[in-house]
A and B are shown apart, each in its own frame.
Chain A
Amino acid sequence: MKMKKVSVKGKKLMKSATKMNKYALGFGLSLVVTNLLNAVILVVKEVSAPVMNAMKAALGHHWTTHAALLIFLFIILGAVFSTYEVAAKWDSRKMMYYIIGSVVISVAIVTVFFLPYLIA
């Protein structure tokens, strides 16, 4: 009986050690979303002249506006996501896969978008 109690407690301890802190989760999710938005913003501004012009007008250079927008979104989304009570459903492994996935997708979109210029 005593053995069983220790085992259950041990399992609980192991589980809580792998659950994510709310800030690690919130800003991790924000990183995933912002990474994907990076690629989306790039495609939209490159194919839409009005968007490109608006971004140039906002902070003097489209790249500066792009950077400011992403950093702003990363902070705001991170703060918002950190308030959600979903941390118990996430662990670091899941977050790792999401972050790797977002980086791979974002890098692939950016690279493929400009690939015709390399081949031409």
Chain B
Amino acid sequence: MLNHGIMMLHVLFGVLGILCAVALFMDVLNAGAKNYQRIKILSLTVAAFLVVSFLVGGYWYVTFYGAERDIIKAGAWPWAHNFFMEVKEHIFFAMLLLGLYLPIAVYKNTPLTSRKNKNLVLAICAMIILLGVFMEGAGGIISKGVTIGLRG
């Protein structure tokens, strides 16, 4: 039960990070004096959710994933681990680092009304969103790999 609870928390914080990145993307598109405070808060929120998702997911991966990995590798979808989990666990670092840089880009690279500064933040948000969507899809395939492995 603890295993599944921690996994669900990892997914939850990851999804919240992606949703906040989408909200930030929209806010930066319409950046101005009125929403600058919200942009700053959202950039910190994205970073915080991604860090928490990383810590929770990392703990789960190191503590619980070994048993599930063996089930996947013995099943009909060994590539769910050999490709999707391996790629996911390493590409996640790119997403985490982008998330850590995001508040720096927002706080230190003002004004966001400048097109170049705005595009930098938009590009970071877009990459977090795209990588995040891949993370969610890969997570679903890995989970299905366990189900198929358990069927034998």
Contact = CB atoms under 8 A, between A and B. Distances in A.
Interface of A: 17-18, 20-21, 23-24, 27-28, 31, 34-35, 38-39, 42, 60-61, 63-64, 66-67, 70-71, 74, 91-93, 95-96, 99-100, 103, 106-107, 110-111, 114-115, 117-118, 120
A38 B90 contact: yes
A21 B119 CA distance: 16
Interface residues of B, number: 35
A92 B105 CA distance: 9
A99 B108 CA distance: 16
A31 B98 contact: yes
B120 A92 contact: yes
Contacts, number: 106
21 contacts: A20-B109, A21-B108, A27-B104, A28-B101, A28-B105, A34-B97, A35-B94, A66-B90, A67-B93, A74-B97, A92-B109, A92-B114, A92-B119, A92-B120, A93-B119, A93-B120, A103-B94, A103-B131, A107-B131, A111-B87, A117-B86
A67 to B, nearest CB: 7
A47 B87 CA distance: 16
B91 interface: yes
Given A34-B97, A38-B94, A100-B123, A18 B114 contact: yes
Interface of B: 54, 58, 61-62, 78-79, 82-83, 86-87, 89-91, 93-94, 96-98, 100-101, 104-105, 108-111, 114, 116-117, 119-120, 123-124, 127, 131
Contact of A27 (B62, B90, B101, B123): B101
